[in-house]
Amino acid sequence: MIGVVGTVPDQDFPLVTGETRLKDDSIYIQGKQILVNRGTPALLAAAIKTAQVLDQGAPFGYLVGDVGLGHGSRRLYEYLSGHLGKRDFNTIVFHYLQPDVDWHNRVLFAIEEMERRPVLIADAGFMYAAKMSGQSPKYDLFTPDIGELAFLADEEAPHPFYTRGFILHEKNRAPELIARAYTHKNAARCLLVKGKQDYVADREGIQATINSPLEEAMEAIGGTGDTLTGIVTALIGTGMEVARAATIAARVNRVAGFYAKPTPATQVMDIIQQIPTAFAKVLGENEEGELWEKQS
Amino acid sequence: MSFLGFLKSRKKKHKTSSDPGRGILGFEHTSEVIKAENVLKKAGWDIRVMGPPPEIRSGCDLVIEIPLIQELNILRTLENVGTPPMKVVPVSSPLLQPVDLFQNKDFGKYLMIRAANMKLTVEKETGTIVNISGGGCPDVPYLASKMVGMSLNEAPSPREIGHTLCGYALQLAYEEMRRR
């Protein structure tokens, strides 16, 4: 079973845990309904859709309301540090939480108490906390966008907005930034860098580049990075090797975007609905040569 | 040292980012920093919002850099509005420099403006905000839920309802979009 940890943009939303369900454009968990637009609900919706395609069980969610003040995040950190050690997941993804190094470390301690160590994935605010704590190598996968990659690569920066000298729209510095993130031990075992080109990389360098189909409008649509993280989480939950799952997920997310015929005004649920069709297309392709290019 | 030499050495010191004449105000919540920034800028102080230096970093926070010589007056101003800082730290090591450049992407019917890691997209004809993307702080989905679907004139500004650096970056994109 996979676990999904994150927040929803509603200050009054209580801390809930349980199996998740997707119906129409809403997530249901512990009797609560959450509209999917972006953030962790979008990640969950994509993970649920993917799990359905792969005939896997629904993700187990840990969600709390947080509008950015961090109160909900801290309650969830506290809950996790007290409860996670007794749970059994093969994969856990941590997502939109207010970065807090101390609480992050306590959650890691709880994970070390688990009987079976799960595959650990971090994105968004929790990835920031992981990097800031200096414990990035304990994670199996980070899923940064190019700005967040610059943040990982800067051994001093506390936040993507304050990276030193890394101008976000400079052309294709991803290979250099990936190398620097690994040099300073600020990367997970594997990186899935989301952007105009998606990269799958590890300490040895870039292992795959995924750049088609390219839909320019996807950059404007909120939540498309969240859906990619959701898809890769569900794939890893099947036991698939991390880099391979990342490569397939990047391709599926792009094909789902293509099938949604997106404009900059498209909402992410329209893309999530296309995930089953995208999987059918991608799994029908030749896995050896046509899906992605391995860099020499 | 001659008086001229003293002046030269002072001038040189003031050019460095580790200038001992500057200080940092640290706050409990980023939202307090944004409020303090508004108050201090309105009062005409020479301040700027920065990322915290490594020795006092604590998550998604902001700090305000101030002229240390005005510390007491600035603290008094903030106390008067109920937003005193948690701590004042003299700048003793190089500060990180914020990235503050914009990138625009014209989709024909839509315009996207990116500020740092945040992207705001608007339908040109109506001024309606159609999408917000980027950023990993927990206020981004909240900001999007409050702003998407509204016109630029009606939507709350990220400065009013945001709490993190992602919200602050979105504010820059929002101001740039309104300026156009």
Residue B34 is part of a domain; what is its CATH number? 3.30.70.2750
Helices (H), chain B: 3-15, 30-42, 71-80, 140-147, 158-161, 165-179
Note if the bond before A213 is cis, omega within 30 degrees: yes
The verdict on residue B8 lying in a domain is no
Residue B60 has pLDDT above 80, yes or no: no
pLDDT mean across residues, chain B? 78
Residue A258 has pLDDT above 80, yes or no: yes
The verdict on residue A79 lying in a domain is yes
The verdict on residue A249 lying in a domain is yes
Contacts of A69 in chain B (CB under 8 A): 29, 31, 139, 163
Residues paired with residue B128 on neighbouring β-strands, in sequence order: B123, B151
Task: Measure CB to CB from residue B136 to each of A124, A221, A224 and give the nearest one.
Answer: A124
Same domain assignment for residues B120 and B174: yes
The verdict on residue B48 lying in a domain is yes
> Closest chain B residue to A8 measured between Cα atoms?
B141
Domain total of chain A: 1
In the DSSP assignment, the letter for residue B55 is G
Burial per residue of B60-79, b for 16 or more beta-carbon CB atoms within 10 angstroms, e otherwise: bbbbbbbebebeeebeebbe
Give the phi and the psi of residue B177 in degrees, each rounded to 5: -65, -45
Q: Does B97 touch chain A (CB under 8 A)?
A: yes
The verdict on residue A290 lying in a domain is no
Same domain assignment for residues B172 and B106: yes
What's the whole-model pTM score?
Answer: 0.81
Question: Residue B94's pLDDT is what?
Answer: 54
pLDDT mean across residues, chain A? 90
Residue A294 distance to chain B (closest CA, Å):
27
Give the phi and the psi of residue B132 in degrees, each rounded to 5: -135, 130
**How many Å apart are CA B55 and CA A31, to the nearest integer?**
44
Residue A286 distance to chain B (closest CA, Å):
32
Helices (H), B16-124: 30-42, 71-80
Same domain assignment for residues B82 and B148: no
CATH code assigned at A257:
3.40.1190.20
Same domain assignment for residues B40 and B106: no
The verdict on residue B4 lying in a domain is no
Domain total of chain B: 2
Contacts of A143 in chain B (CB under 8 A): none
Residue A291 has pLDDT above 60, yes or no: no
User: Of A12-16, A127-131, B68-72, which has the strongest mean pLDDT?
Assistant: A12-16
The verdict on residue A296 lying in a domain is no
Matching residue, tokens 């997920």: A249
Question: Residue B176's pLDDT is what?
Answer: 85
Task: Measure CB to CB from residue B131 to each of A158, A166, A222 and give the nearest one.
Answer: A222
Residue B11 distance to chain A (closest CA, Å):
25
The verdict on residue A213 lying in a domain is yes
Range of the domain at B61: 17-90
Q: Do residues A80 and A107 touch, judged by C-beta distance below 8 A?
A: yes
In the DSSP assignment, the letter for residue B155 is S
Q: How far apart are the first and last CA of chain B?
A: 54
Same domain assignment for residues B108 and B70: no
**How many Å apart are CA B14 and CA A20, to the nearest integer?**
57
Of A191, A194, A84, which is closest to residue A145 (Cα–Cα)?
A: A194
Q: What is the pLDDT of residues B104-138, one digit of tens each?
A: 999 999 999 987 778 999 999 999 999 999 877 77
Of B57, B90, B123, which marks where a domain is finished? B90
Question: Residue A163's pLDDT is what?
Answer: 56
The verdict on residue A294 lying in a domain is no
Same domain assignment for residues B86 and B110: no
CA A8 to chain centre: 15
Q: Please, which pLDDT band fits residue A3 given cuts at 50, 70 and 90?
A: very high
Task: Measure CB to CB from residue B96 to each of A69, A156, A267 and give the nearest one.
Answer: A156
CA distances from residue B46 to A48, A103, B43, B82, B94 in whole angstroms, order as listed: 51, 35, 9, 20, 19
Same domain assignment for residues B32 and B75: yes
Question: Residue B23's pLDDT is what?
Answer: 83
**How many Å apart are CA B8 and CA B43, to the nearest integer?**
31
The verdict on residue A293 lying in a domain is no
Q: What is the pLDDT of residues A31-79, one digit of tens each?
A: 999 999 889 999 999 999 999 999 999 999 999 999 888 899 999 999 9
Angle at A143 between CA A138 and CA A146, to 5 degrees: 125
Same domain assignment for residues B82 and B106: no
Residue A65 distance to chain B (closest CA, Å):
9
Q: Using CB atoms and an 8 Å cut-off, which of residues 107-126 of chain B contact chain A? A: 107, 109-110, 112, 114, 116-117, 119, 121, 123
Residue A196 has pLDDT above 80, yes or no: yes
The verdict on residue B168 lying in a domain is yes
Range of the domain at A159: 2-283
Same domain assignment for residues B110 and B82: no
Q: Do A101 and B29 touch (CB under 8 A)?
A: no
Total Cβ atoms within 10 A of residue B45: 17
Structure token digits, residue B51: 């990322």
**How many Å apart are CA A70 and CA A7, to the nearest integer?**
10
CA distances from residue A211 to A176, A267, A270 in whole angstroms, order as listed: 18, 21, 21
Structure token digits, residue A62: 């840990």
Q: Count Cβ–Cβ pairs < 8 Å, chain A vs chain B.
A: 189
Burial (Cβ within 10 Å: 0-12, 13-18, ≥19) of residue B179:
exposed
Structure token digits, residue A18: 């349980």
> Closest chain A residue to B148 measured between Cα atoms?
A265
Same domain assignment for residues B68 and B115: no
Of B90, B121, B143, which marks where a domain is finished? B90
The residue among A7, A162, A263 with the most chain B CBs within 10 A of its CB, best to mutate, is: A162
**How many Å apart are CA A148 and CA B136, to the nearest integer?**
9
Query: Worst-scoring range by mean pLDDT, A43-52, A204-213, B49-58?
Result: B49-58
Query: Worst-scoring range by mean pLDDT, B22-31, B124-133, B169-178?
Result: B22-31
The verdict on residue B5 lying in a domain is no
Query: Worst-scoring range by mean pLDDT, A24-28, A247-251, A285-289, B167-171?
Result: A285-289
Same domain assignment for residues B86 and B108: no
The verdict on residue A45 lying in a domain is yes
Residue B100 has pLDDT above 60, yes or no: no
Q: Please, which pLDDT band fits residue A197 given cuts at 50, 70 and 90?
A: very high
Same domain assignment for residues B65 and B122: no
> Closest chain A residue to B169 measured between Cα atoms?
A161
* Bridge pairing between strands B118-123 and B110-115: antiparallel
Of B69, B90, B111, which marks where a domain is finished? B90
